[in-house]
Amino acid sequence: MDKNLTEITDLTRAEFERLLELSAQLKSELKKKPRLDNAEGKVAALIFEKPSLRTRVTFEVAMRQLGGSAIYLGPSDIGLGTRESVPDVARNLARWVDCIIARVFEHEKITGLAGNASVPVVNALSDAAHPCQALADILTVKDHRGKLDGAIIAWVGDGNNVCNSLMYSCALLGLELRVATPRGFEPAKEVTDRATAMAQESGAKLAFGNDPAAAVRGAEFVYTDVWASMGQEDQAAHKARMFRPFQVNAELMEQAGPDAKVLHCLPAHRGEEITAEVIDGPRSIVLDQAENRLHAQRALLATLLGRR
């Protein structure tokens, strides 16, 4: 694969499928011994402009399990793009570490790091994309179905960064994805256009609309996310009104398949985009999904750091 993961589109279908296979393989290997040597002696720099639970912990744990280590750099440590330019940060870090993992606001910072670093750069979340989450999402679908062929996923809510990466993943792998958003909150046209073109090559089925009931009807997996992402707090009240019909609740889940599972990338706002009854109920697989962040990212790092 390319030395960077800035978005799912950096991967070929074969590379994506190989990461899924390697995720399961390394998980099995770790049951036999507590530490692997895929990244022995390697160091990753974690640049975080946004707070994090799952992303930071899973990347740090993954590096340790692979025999490497990680250095956390918070917002006040660098001042990415303010105290120091993005190219300067990338070029300096590349002299010291073996991988740069960045969780930022502007996607341009990810592309700027990737364009100036001589070591792999991983997008751990930007305003435009969340490819590591998508890897874990698809891994979770595969775990629960046994195979990906024929999977039907419904996305209900905002056409945001998580939705973008999920769209590219389904389009690449030939899956069916139905996206339902309030009017005016659809995914960006350039993203839907590119995903649609990818779907034509893979045989994927992508549908876009504004009716959550239609999207989830017969779906095997119903996926939602917070209505106002980090950095959009000023939009929260407006979105709460606009998105109310898109809440994933028991009534909406009745429209899905009888065994349909619920996905959420977390953190969740119970009573807003999803009810406590649903996210804490028997259909929820959000903790499996969160665990798979570790397994998917461990496989990604093992691949990028050259021992797989």
Backbone region of residue 79 per phi and psi (left: phi > 0; alpha: psi in -120 to 50; beta: other values):
left
Amino acid letter for position 18: R
Candidate list 133, 247, 289, 297, residue with the active-site label: 133
Give residue 230's pLDDT: 66
CATH number for the domain running over 133-289: 3.40.50.1370
Query: In the chain, which stretches have pLDDT less than 50?
Result: 308
Q: What is the pLDDT of residues 272-299, one digit of tens each?
A: 999 999 999 999 999 999 999 999 999 9
Q: Is 145 marked active-site?
A: no
For 131-167, letters b (16+ CB in 10 Å) and e give bbbbbbbbbbbbbbeeebeebbbbbbbbbbbbbbbbb
- Structure tokens given for 137: 């999402």
Candidate list 132, 158, 225, 247, residue with the active-site label: 225
Q: Is 54 marked active-site?
A: no
For 250-278, letters b (16+ CB in 10 Å) and e give eebbebbeeebbbbbbbebeeebbbbeeb
Q: Is 130 marked active-site?
A: yes
Give residue 178's pLDDT: 98
Q: Is 269 marked active-site?
A: no
CA 177 to chain centre: 15
Q: Is 265 marked active-site?
A: yes
The burial class, CB within 10 Å (0-12 / 13-18 / 19+), for 38 is buried
Give residue 297's pLDDT: 98
Give residue 258's pLDDT: 87
**What interhelical angle do 286-304 and 54-65 show, nearest 10?**
50
Give residue 244's pLDDT: 95
Quick one: fold of 8-130+293-304? Rossmann fold (3.40.50)
Candidate list 56, 130, 178, 308, residue with the active-site label: 130
Candidate list 103, 283, 298, 308, residue with the active-site label: 103
Domain range annotation of the chain: 8-130+293-304, 133-289
| Residue 208, strand partner residues | 179
- Residue 34 to residues 52, 61, 276, Cα–Cα distance (Å): 25, 12, 35
Give residue 308's pLDDT: 46
Q: How far apart are CA 46 and CA 98, in angstroms?
A: 11
pTM, to two decimals: 0.96
Q: In CATH terms, are 8-130+293-304 and 133-289 the same topology?
A: yes
| Residue 155, strand partner residues | 179, 223
Candidate list 107, 293, 298, 308, residue with the active-site label: 293
Candidate list 247, 264, 265, 289, residue with the active-site label: 265
